[in-house]
Copies of this chain bind each other. A is one copy, B any other.
Amino acid sequence: MESQYKASSNGVIEHGITNGGEEKYVAVANKRKMVGWSLFLRVAAVALGLAAAVVLGLDKQTTTVAMQLVPTLPPVNVPVTAEWHYLSAFVYFLAANAIASAYGAISLLLILANTRVANRKIDVIVVVLDLSTTALLFSSFGAAAAVGIIGHEGNSHVQWRKVCNVFDKFCVQGAAAMLLSGGASLVFFLLVAISILNHHNKY
């Protein structure tokens, strides 16, 4: 049994054991399959992040609420509007998803270009930036979820009243944006995890 180290097309050295030559080709085939999966996941991350940013960016609802302006007169219907940028957590959420999808698109181009040039440094930079994007998306998800829960449930201790009973459509659209962003977060998480599993098992 003889060990072989071979530089692959994307700059990662592959370890094939030429036990009749078969295992080596299985390893190369598995490697290609995994690179294909990673590219698919990256495209999915870009689409999910972009969709989350757009769905939240278009989130706006105007409705009327009955307000008792003068105690002796009947209540008046007053128009009220909810927009995504009213809450700083949602601004952060939209910015994070926009940055994540833009980075995802750039990294996709870098990886596709790198399969020919085979620069290992680019591979490392992409994984560390994937990790940073994962952290960014998870923090923005936490921020939006925390505000979303207060908007949905309210909090009697600090007298913050729920607003989703009034802005129902606004809250549903916000929840959809969070679902999309949650997907993008998990995909970036998976990309880092796959890279770790791939490189830590490379001996």
A199 contacts across to B, CB distance below 8 A: 196, 199-200, 202
Additional 13 contacts, C-beta under 8 A, given A134-B134, A151-B158: A82-B157, A86-B158, A88-B146, A89-B149, A92-B146, A124-B196, A124-B197, A131-B193, A134-B138, A135-B189, A138-B138, A144-B146, A159-B161
Contact A202 B202 (CB under 8 A): yes
**Considering the complex, which residues of chain A in the window 154-203 have a beta carbon less than 8 Å from any beta carbon of chain B?**
155, 157-161, 163, 185, 189, 192-193, 195-197, 199-203
State the CA gap A120–B202 with chains docked (Å). 11
Most chain B Cβ neighbours within 10 Å, of A87, A123, A200? A200
Nearest CB in chain B: distance from A1 CB, A: 15
Which 6 A/B pairs are nearest by Cβ-Cβ distance? A142-B142, A139-B142, A143-B146, A142-B143, A86-B157, A89-B146
User: Smallest CB–CB gap between A122 and chain B, Å?
Assistant: 11
- Mark contacts of A1-44 with chain B using CB atoms, 8 A cut-off: 1 yes-contact digit, 0 otherwise: 00001000000110000000000000000000000000000000
Jot down 15 A-B pairs with beta carbons below 8 A, ordered by A.
A12-B203, A92-B146, A127-B196, A131-B131, A131-B189, A131-B193, A136-B138, A138-B139, A142-B146, A143-B146, A151-B158, A158-B160, A158-B161, A158-B163, A196-B196
